[in-house]
Chain A
Amino acid sequence: DAGVIQSPRHEVTEMGQEVTLRCKPISGHNSLFWYRQTMMRGLELLIYFNNNVPIDDSGMPEDRFSAKMPNASFSTLKIQPSEPRDSAVYFCASSYGQGFDTEAFFGQGTRLTVV
């Protein structure tokens, strides 16, 4: 398996534009997580899906952020409109099982820069 695949690897966009980050989890995994990593705040959980259903979105910063998982092999994280403070590395991770007590595999991340 190629592991968790994220695209794009890098994204530079202007403030106010819509940004969509994509994730393909490992085949057979039924939990998917979106994380954000910044120097200021470290690694933070944004949202967690289990069997394609959002379970915990309490980490989503505000209404400008939304995430979907239309099927078991694809998820998106959308920011609309984007702001400079959204600049960060966004990671997607997947695992087999429910919750956080099984090994999660992370993608390479998407480095987002909003100018």
Chain B
Amino acid sequence: GESVGLHLPTLSVQEGDNSIINCAYSNSASDYFIWYKQESGKGPQFIIDIRSNMDKRQGQRVTVLLNKTVKHLSLQIAATQPGDSAVYFCAENENNNDMRFGAGTRLTVKP
């Protein structure tokens, strides 16, 4: 029979536009967060991380924002490129124990 799986949220953007991918986390005690990118047929790839004592961190073309009040994490990608098309996962960690991944968001970049 047909299997029912996770329905990934999707985001479609035009090449050159900025992308914002959101993640709601569950554990108010989580103190470390990571964004991963997973391209088809590959393993997750680290993009950027942030610790709970910060609310913003910037990398190359990417920015992570953390709002602990509402337990929300976002990844902003500037000038999105076709190579950014992938599934993006947020992951949370508390006190260096375990790593819990979100369901992921599929980003599609239209040329």
Hey, which bits of chain A sit against chain B, CB under 8 A? 4, 33, 38-45, 56, 91, 93, 98-101, 103-109
Of A41, A98, A103, which one neighbours B46 at CB under 8 angstroms? A103
Which bracket fits the contact residues of B? 20 to 34
Could you tell me if A39 and B41 are in contact, using CB atoms closer than 8 angstroms?
no
Could you tell me if B41 and A108 are in contact, using CB atoms closer than 8 angstroms?
yes
Q: Within 8 Å CB of A4, what residues of B? A: 43
Of B5, B41, B96, which one neighbours A99 at CB under 8 angstroms? B96
Q: How far is the CA of A60 from the CA of B45 in the complex (A)?
A: 23
> Can you list 9 A-B contacts (CB < 8 A)?
A33-B99, A39-B3, A44-B101, A45-B98, A91-B44, A99-B96, A100-B99, A105-B46, A106-B43
Q: How far is the CA of A33 from the CA of B34 in the complex (A)?
A: 16
Q: Within 8 Å CB of A43, what residues of B? A: 44, 89, 101
Could you tell me if A101 and B96 are in contact, using CB atoms closer than 8 angstroms?
yes
Could you tell me if B43 and A40 are in contact, using CB atoms closer than 8 angstroms?
no
Which residue in chain A gives the minimum CB-CB distance to B92? A100
A85 shortest CB reach to chain B, Å:
10
